[in-house]
Structure 1
Amino acid sequence: MSQSEKLDSLIKRLEAVTVRLENVQATGGSVASSAQSSSSSSQSSSAEASSKEVVSYNEYLEASLKPFLDISKEIGGDLTELATLVETSFTEVGKLINIASKSKKPSDQEITNLFKPISELFQKITQYKDARRGSDYYNHLFSVDEGIKCLQWPLVPNTPAPFVKEMVNSAEFYTNKVLVAYRSKDPKQVDWVNKFKTAVNDLSAYVKEYHTTGLKWNPSGGDAKSAAASSASAPSSSSSSSTPAPKPSTSAPSSGGAPAKNDLFAAINAKRDNAAGGLNKVTNDQKTKNRKEEDRVSVVPGELAKKGVATKTTGKKQKGPEKFELSRGGIEKWCVENFDNKTDLVISETSNKQGVYILNCTNCVITIKGKVNIIIIDSCQKTGVILDDAVSSVEMVNSQGIKVQVNGNVPTVNVDKTDGVQIFLSKSALGANIITSKSSEMNVCVPDGDDYTEIPIPEQYQSKWDSSTKKVVTEVVTLNM
């Protein structure tokens, strides 16, 4: 390349950066952070155009998410730390959008790896909620734990915006509990619910505008792994601001090393010499042998102990080992078993002779690429399955809170002993037969333009004996919508 060509190239890059800075200043963005991102994303005109997704996402965070974070911190309590986890989760998604804006679309496995920090934050939010079951804000925590899954939209092909919007419905059971408890007591709690719904609904609008058929990548961009590495090495003001400062020590610092150690050992020796000094004396009536029979709640009855009868425990049922493999014995099938909080499980090497068996998974998302024979979802909770095509059927049994999205075609969907079902059908799958038994809270979602229309599946029936035909005639009870 000649000197004149290099100079022309440099001038074009400087002009692109100038335009970018002027746009950010007009929208009230940060000039410093914009200059850093624009220098890496202005290698071509298409890269410059793709930065609109990043700018709009930052505007969304300021206009829609920040009010929710502010009111959470204002209410305080367990919602303060929860707000920090939520803020970090949305920031990580922003990093992924920024990487996509200047990178070509990588493989599915690489996308899964890029999404891993967000999945780990989902787990932290769930663990935070589970550790505070006695909290005054437990329904708030549950609402966010359900709704935060809206950030899985970068993994959802074709229909990410309706997926985001559906998360409002997923959390509605718990947000309604908050409204019932506080509607007449504390308007601030009602405002918290409204701001939470606004944040998720506005995210759906953003995704619909900029990522209509999935996370938008830059066909003229560079390598996603390199972009992720440079993003990780760059300082992030948002991440540093969301990290809570360490709590100051309540003990006074020692001015000298040896005197402090001597004081410490002296205190230990004093405690050792009077080790039982601070213990309360156990009176005779507090001893187990002197208690009444009905008060011995922790004693296993002698007859049951002799017979080896197991007593009821409150511990969680232990799961078996995690399994993610293709079993080739007899009929080939993919086995996905015993996973918790894994939203990046992808089966990509498939054939129309294989089956997929998903067992005992909780808070997971499984994506199945290509055409398979049959998919069975057994004993799962709050799990989503995204599939392309199934030759035979998709079956759900003994499960709760299952979402199935069909992007291609499937002839039959069976729902048995499963509560809380959402079935998203593509246009080519509208002719599917949906067979249900002993199930409740079922909805089928059908395409309506760029969005979906949700239609409930009947759960109630009335039967009468027809004397003329000598048969029992069953009809669906009309739903009052």
Structure 2
Amino acid sequence: MEALVERLEQAVVRLEAVAVKLQHCPGGVANGDIISNMINGGESQSMEAFDLLLSGSVSEYVKTSTSIGGEVAKHAEMVNNALQIQRTFLKMAMTHQEPSKAEMVNNALQIQRTFLKMAMTHQEPSKTELADLLRPLSEQIHEVQSFREKNRGSSLFNHLSAVSESIPALGWVAVCQKPGPYVKEMNDAAMFYTNRVLKDYKDTDGRHVEWVRSYLSIWTELQSYIKDHHTTGLVWSTTGPVAPSSLFNASSDGPCPPPPPPPPGPPPVFLDNSAAPDDTAAQHSALFAQLNQGDAITKGLKHVSDEQKTHKNPDLRSQGERTLQDSPAKRPSASVRAPAKKHSPVLELEGKKWRVEYQDQSPDLLIEETELRQVVYVFSCNSSTLQIKGKVNSIIVDNCKKLGLVFDSAVGIVEIINSRDVQLQVMGKVPTISINKTEGCHVYLSKDSLDCEIVSAKSSEMNILVPEGEDDYREFPVPEQFKTVWDGSSLVTEPTKIAG
């Protein structure tokens, strides 16, 4: 209530100032000018509120991050740059009209659009799109998140994760209805990691506790700012020019990051090589004129006598065959198989997916620092061994040969597909293992995973090994051959005695 009263008092002060100016103005002021002045005052107040956020919580966050140093300080600099970009964007939104929304079209519609535009005489529509304006901010957010992924071994990884998970909150400017709750969701995502920071440092280093407080307050104050000035979405000007395609063409106010990359290139090349509209129309006219001749269209065809017809003259057929045999240009060439493309091995985290690809003769592959929502995708790995520590969401092994996979636990499915000679060992728990189109698969279960469901299809040489004693396993083959009979009312299928 105190904040509301203070805002009302400020509004009254501004209105009184306008009244004083009206009294001292000899010719008076038009109503439109009064309204314009009030709107400009609101815009100024909105920017002042955002600047207060930058000079308050953001400044404290940067300061505490600098005192901690290392990756946290570098990350803070990126976050500060992103906020400065957003300030420039907000400044532009107050003086420009909203640009047209970027269309999401597939290639076929894009080709059709180009064709229709070519056939029409109207000028090309404006290219000022919201996506172009938000590109610098989006790239800065991506840079912040990529920095976390490049420093997964850092002792300050929880700090980096808190920032990386919540920085998308700056995308509130593209949320149409309720940007405030969206920012709160991002803030909640950060708190999962900030709680870890507090647990590690609350009794040893107060700088990290202050860092958590200052960082979370950024999003708390941003929610208040949105509630006060952009409750139902970013407020654009209704009288200014349409926003330019580049954010930094609109205003030089405040520190500006590097300009965005150049816009996308022209339409596909094949469109440029097509005939010009006038030539195309002429070609179409000529074609329709020929079709409209009716029977007269055959008058231009050349008459072929019986002596020139190959089906009535065996000599012509034999000459044609000799020509084909003697012609080196038409002789079918021996097929030459192109060398297989060599792929570089990959072991990296891409978003929420661990990619392990094209590993060959790698016996010590290891994935650590896993999270519950992450998936692991293993593709085209040969004669290698992969160990996954921690609990992940799911694991997929695709097109691998002689692969050994050892993992702790998975909350979802572990799937083996299109592979050969795979050995799988579960150290903890897994609800389901799927084996599909695979030749040779040995699954070693733990005592905690004996309730696992194993689903197989189009596979052979499958064996399940269950623990027996301390360090021993007992092997059971999975049936491959089945017998199906009709019992009078339905089909009954059961494995045959020679199965496995």
Q: Same-fold call, TM > 0.5?
A: no
Q: Which has the larger radius of gyration?
A: 2
| TM-score bucket of the superposed structures, by smaller chain | 0.3 to 0.5
